[in-house]
Amino acid sequence: MDPKSELEGITVNFGCSGVDIDKFLEYKSNNPSTIADWGMVSGKKEEKEISSFLVEPFNKAKEAGEIPRSVRLESYDCSSLSLIR
Q: How long is the chain?
A: 85
Per the domain annotation, does 13 fall within a domain? no
H helices of 4-75, in order, are 21-30, 56-63
pLDDT band at 79 (very low <50, low <70, confident <90, very high): very low
Cα distances from 43 to residues 3, 23, 46, in angstroms, run: 29, 32, 7
Quote the pTM value. 0.51
Domain membership flag for residue 65:
yes
pLDDT at 4: 75
pLDDT in tens, 2-53: 777 776 666 666 667 788 889 988 988 898 888 777 766 667 777 778 787 7
Whether 67 is covered by a domain: the verdict is yes
Q: Is residue 46 part of a domain?
A: yes
Q: Is residue 10 part of a domain?
A: no
| Domain annotation covers residue 70 | yes
Confirm whether 71 is domain-assigned. Answer: yes
pLDDT for 82 beyond 60: no
Full residue range of the structural domain in which residue 44 is found: 20-83
Domain count, the chain: 1
30 to 23, 24, 41, 46: CA distances (angstroms): 10, 10, 23, 19
* Model pLDDT for residues 50-76, shown as the tens digit of each residue: 787 777 888 899 999 998 988 877 665
Structural domain contains residue 29: yes
Cβ proximity of 79 and 68 under 8 Å? no
